[in-house]
Structure 1
Amino acid sequence: MKSNVCKLLSTAAIAATISAGAAASTLEDVKAKGFVQCGVSTGVPGFSNADDKGNWTGIDVDACRAVASAIFGDAQKVKFTPLSAKERFTALQSGEIDILARNTTWTYTRDASLGLDFTAVNFYDGQGFMVRKDLGVKSAMDLDGATVCTEQGTTTELNMADFFRKNKLSYVPVVVQKADEALAAYDSGRCDVYTTDKSGLAAHRTKLADPSAHVILPETISKEPLGPVVRHGDNQWKDIVTWSMYVQVNAEEMDISSKNVAKIKSETNDPGIKRLLGVEGDMGAQLELPADWAYNIIANVGNYGEVFERNVGPSTPVDLPRGLNALWTEAGGIMYAPPVR
C-alpha cells in the first residue's frame, strides 16, 4: 500500500513538473499575441499619460516601448491598460498585463510577498508635499493640523503617517482611490495639502488651473525607487525587462543616441559598442531575442537621457532636473547599469 501511494505521489509530481514545463513563458505569450500588454497609471504627465487621441507618452510608457522594440523591433507593439494604485498588483498577478510600469515604488514587502519581481529603477524619487502659496507654509514642519489628500493603496499613505507620527504633528487624511481624485479634492479646497512622490507632484501641478499658485515644499520624507514590475518565477522575462532599461543607460554612457546609433553601428571599432549593438557576440540569443535587439531599443526609444529629457526634463511642463537620475559619472547622479558583455 505504501509503495502504491509513493508511486501515485511520484506520478503526480512528474505530471506537475511536465505541466509546469509545458506552460508558455511570458515571452512566448507576448510573441503569440503580437504585442506587450503594459499596465500604466490613469494619468501622470511625464510618466504615463494619454492625450485626447489616446496616444500614450511618458517614462513608464517608454519602458514598455523599449521591451516591444527588443522583441519585435517595433516600439508601437504595445497596448496600455490604465490602472489605479489599488488595481495594479492584482492585474499583474492575474496575467491581465505583462509588465506593470506605473511609477511604482520598490519596497521589501512588495518584492517579497506579492509574487512579483521588480526589475530596474527607471526613476529615483522621494515623497513630498504640495500646498497653495497663499497659505504661507514654508516647511512640512508647519503642517500641524493640516488636512492631507493622497491616493489609496500606495506607499504614500504609510510614509505620510510615519512622518506626522515621528514629528508629533496632527493631521487629517483624505484618502481616495485615484490620483486625479486626490488632486481634484486638493484643488477644490477639500484639503490643505497634496502628498505623493515629488515627480508626481510636479506632474500633477501642471493639471491645475494656475500651477504657479502652488509650491512643493523642500522636505523629501522617503526613498521612492520607481520601476517596472513583472511576475515572479519567469526569470527570462524579468531579464528582458531589466536589460531593456540597462541598454538605455549604457547607451547614454557611451554617447549613443537615437540620432547617431545607425552611424555608430556602421563605423565603430569599439568592441563594447559592437557587442551592445549586435555587430559582434551572441547577446540577443541569450535572451531569445534578435541580434539587433539593443540597437532597436536605442533607435526607436532613445538612450536614458533622451527618455528623461523628452518626458520630464526642463523643456517640458513637468520641468524636473536630472538630480539623482543623472548618470553616476555626473555630479549627484546614481543612475548606473551593469555592462553588456
Structure 2
Amino acid sequence: MRTFRGGLLIGLAVAVLVGALAVIYEFYDTRTLKRTVRRGEVLCGVNKGLPGFSIPDDKGNWTGFDVDFCRAVAAAIFNDPAKAKFVPLDASERFKELQSRKVDILSRNSTWSMARELDYDLYFPAVAYYDGAGFMLPRSRNKETSLDLTGSKVCVQAGTTTLLNVADYFKANNMKYEEVKFDKLDDVVKAYDTGKCDTLSADVSQLYALRLNLSKPGDHMILPDMISKEPLAPVVRQRDDDWMMIVKWTLYAMINAEELGVSS
C-alpha cells in the first residue's frame, strides 16, 4: 500500500513537472509562425508616427511603407493583409518588446548593427531602406553644412545609433557641442521646438517627418549632409528560422515587385 501511494505521489509530481515544463516550453518556444497562426494575426511593432513609414489617421487606420510590409507578411501567412495588428513602440522599448514576444516582428526605422544582433539576440533579415543621420536647425542660424555646427546644442534621442554618430562626427572634426538627450522622441522634438537646443539630429527621413509637426515648419531647414550610413531593416528574434525566412522573402518579393512594376 505504501509502495502504491509512494508511486502515486511520484507519478503526480512527475505529471505536475511535465505540465510545468510544457507551459514553460510554450512560453519560451521560438516558433513564432505556430503562435501567429494560432492567434490569427501578426503583431507588428511600428513607429508611433512617422509619415511615409507608419502613421495612424484620426480613425486609427495605419499607412506607410513599414505598415504595408507588415500587411504583406500577413498576406503571406493568411492570404489576408488585414490580419496585421500594429503596436506602436518608441525607440527605447522596441527591442525589449520584441524580445519579450509582445510583438512578432519590428517593422519600424531600426538600424541594422552587429551590436544589436549580439546584445539583444535578434536578427535583421534584410535591408528595407538606406538612410543616414543628419541635422535640422532653424533657418535663422544661417548654416550651410554640418561642419558649421561647432558649439551647437544638439537634441537627440537616447538608445539610438544617432547618439553615437553625433558624438563620433563632432570628435572626428574637432568640433565642440552640447548633447541634450531624452528617452522619448516626443520630448526630443518638444525640446527643440521650444528652443532648449538649437539643432536636432536623427535619420534624415525622420527629420523631414518631424519637421511637419513643428509649430512653424517653414522656419527650419535640414542640412544636405549625411554623417552616417543607416541600413534600416525589419527585426525578428534569433533561432527562429521559419519565421525569419518568411519575413526575409516577403521583403525580397516586394522589392522584386517594385522593380518589375507589379506594384504600380
TM-score, structure 1 as length reference = 0.68
Identify which of 255, 260, 272 aligns with 2:261: 255
Q: CA distance change for structure 1 residues 86 and 23 in 2, over 3 Å: closer, same or farther?
A: closer
The secondary structure found in structure 2 opposite 1:150 is strand
Q: Does 1:54 align with 2:84?
A: no
- Larger mean Cα displacement after TM superposition, 210-219 or 119-128: 210-219
Q: 1:292-311: per-residue Cα shift (whole Å, max 9, x none)?
A: xxxxxxxxxxxxxx5xxxxx
Residue type at the aligned position of 2:53:
F
Aligned equivalents of 2:30, 2:168: Cα separation in 1: 43
Q: Does 1:127 align with 2:101?
A: no
Are the aligned partners of 2:30 and 2:239 in contact in 1 as well (CA < 8 Å)? Answer: no
Deviation at 1:205, TM superposition (A): 1.1
Identify which of 216, 240, 243 aligns with 1:237: 243
Q: Does 1:96 align with 2:102?
A: yes
The secondary structure found in structure 2 opposite 1:129 is strand
Are the aligned partners of 2:30 and 2:240 in contact in 1 as well (CA < 8 Å)? Answer: no
Q: CA distance change for structure 1 residues 23 and 144 in 2, over 3 Å: closer, same or farther?
A: closer
The secondary structure found in structure 2 opposite 1:76 is helix
Residue type at the aligned position of 1:177:
D
The secondary structure found in structure 2 opposite 1:191 is coil
Q: CA distance change for structure 1 residues 129 and 23 in 2, over 3 Å: closer, same or farther?
A: closer
2:185 counterpart residue number: 179
Are the aligned partners of 1:39 and 1:99 in contact in 2 as well (CA < 8 Å)? Answer: yes
Aligned equivalents of 1:84, 1:253: Cα separation in 2: 32
Q: CA distance change for structure 1 residues 145 and 24 in 2, over 3 Å: closer, same or farther?
A: closer
Aligned equivalents of 1:97, 1:189: Cα separation in 2: 36
1:36 counterpart residue number: 42
Aligned equivalents of 2:233, 2:204: Cα separation in 1: 15
Q: Does 1:197 align with 2:203?
A: yes
Are the aligned partners of 1:63 and 1:228 in contact in 2 as well (CA < 8 Å)? Answer: no
TM-score, structure 2 as length reference = 0.87
Tell me the percent identity. Answer: 50
Alignment of 1:77-96 (within 5 A): 77-96=83-102
Q: 1:272-303: per-residue Cα shift (whole Å, max 9, x none)?
A: xxxxxxxxxxxxxxxxxxxxxxxxxxxxxxxx
Identify which of 225, 249, 261 aligns with 1:219: 225
Q: 1:165-191: per-residue Cα shift (whole Å, max 9, x none)?
A: 111111111111222221111111111
Q: 1:174-222: per-residue Cα shift (whole Å, max 9, x none)?
A: 1112222211111111110010000001111111233222111121100
Aligned equivalents of 2:237, 2:29: Cα separation in 1: 14
Aligned equivalents of 1:252, 1:54: Cα separation in 2: 27
Aligned equivalents of 1:79, 1:41: Cα separation in 2: 13
CA RMSD, Structure 1 to Structure 2 (Å): 1.8
Q: How many residues align?
A: 241
Identify which of 142, 153, 163 aligns with 2:159: 153
1:115 counterpart residue number: 121
Q: Which runs of 5+ in 1 are unaligned?
A: 1-14, 258-305, 307-341
Identify which of 15, 33, 36 aligns with 1:27: 33
Aligned equivalents of 1:97, 1:44: Cα separation in 2: 19
The secondary structure found in structure 1 opposite 2:134 is strand
1:322 counterpart residue number: none
Aligned equivalents of 1:210, 1:44: Cα separation in 2: 18
Are the aligned partners of 2:108 and 2:234 in contact in 1 as well (CA < 8 Å)? Answer: yes
Aligned equivalents of 2:222, 2:134: Cα separation in 1: 7
Are the aligned partners of 1:38 and 1:81 in contact in 2 as well (CA < 8 Å)? Answer: yes
The secondary structure found in structure 1 opposite 2:123 is strand
Q: Which runs of 5+ in 2 are unaligned?
A: 1-20
Residue type at the aligned position of 1:108:
M
Aligned equivalents of 2:185, 2:63: Cα separation in 1: 17
Q: 1:26-62: per-residue Cα shift (whole Å, max 9, x none)?
A: 1111111110001111211111111222111111111
Residue type at the aligned position of 2:35:
D
Indicate the structure whose relative CO is greater, using CA pairs within 8 Å and at least 6 residues apart: 2
2:7 counterpart residue number: none
2:17 counterpart residue number: none
Residue type at the aligned position of 2:70:
C
